[in-house]
Amino acid sequence: MPTNRLRNSFIMSLLIHICLWLALIHTGESSLVTVHQQEIVMMEIIDLPQTMQEHPLIPKHAEKTKSRRKMTKNLSTESTAESSDDADQARISTGYSNYIAEIRNHILQRKIYPENSRRMKEYGRVKLAVVISASGKVQTVELVEPCPFQRLNSAAVALIRDIHQFKPFPPDLAHREKLKLEIPIEYVIR
């Protein structure tokens, strides 16, 4: 009699252990797939390009620099005039580049990732057209290329509107009344 009871409890215990072991194996396989999928998604997010560093702010109507002039032995007054024009062009180009870099840094320092978008893992690139007056005041902000998430589009427009004043144009750009720039703003989850 005691052996039947002992045998029955052993068999019952063995069946319970087998069921638990099978459940553990089945659960372990599905969690491995989930972890693997999460890693793929995270790699895609990390590999997004950082456009603020790769693509500088590009004006709509940028002045083209003159092509390289041929070196000649005899310098004439025309070549002297050309060299002074090239020097002026280089000075304007440098002043312009520095001003654009200041604007980009100013925007990057104030960019805030919307908390709800971060939680929802929303990311994207928003391109804005911004017109800046010679005094540095933001005149207009337009959405040129929106991203699929409205929160990020609104945050990008609000970012520029909240800044509303950049530094005035440097002396090299004093001849311009306004500057129209296309500004890409990248929202990337890190």
131, 179 contact by CB (below 8 A): yes
Q: Is residue 120 a part of any domain in this protein?
A: yes
**The domain that contains 93 carries what CATH number?**
3.30.1150.10
pLDDT value at position 129? 93
**Number of domains, the chain:** 1
pLDDT value at position 92? 57
pLDDT per residue, tens digit, the chain (190 aa), is: 567 888 888 898 888 888 888 877 766 554 444 433 333 333 333 333 444 444 455 554 444 433 333 333 333 334 444 445 555 555 557 788 888 889 989 998 999 999 999 999 999 999 999 999 999 999 999 999 999 999 999 999 999 999 989 999 988 888 889 999 999 999 998 8
Q: Is residue 131 a part of any domain in this protein?
A: yes
Q: Is residue 55 a part of any domain in this protein?
A: yes
Please name the residues in contact with 132: beta carbons below 8 A apart, sequence gap of 6 or more. 103, 138, 139, 166, 178, 179, 180, 181
The token pair at 158 is 């609000």
Q: Is residue 79 a part of any domain in this protein?
A: no
Cα–Cα nearest to 159, from 180, 121, 186, 135: 186
Please name the residues in contact with 171: beta carbons below 8 A apart, sequence gap of 6 or more. 95
List the beta strands (DSSP E) in the chain: 58-59, 124-133, 138-145, 178-187
pLDDT value at position 24? 74
Q: Is residue 15 a part of any domain in this protein?
A: no
Please report which residue ranges of 47-127 form alpha helices under DSSP H.
Answer: 51-54, 77-110, 115-119
Q: Is residue 177 a part of any domain in this protein?
A: yes
Whole-structure pTM value:
0.53
Which residue segment(s) compose the domain that 131 sits in?
48-62+89-187
Q: Is residue 42 a part of any domain in this protein?
A: no
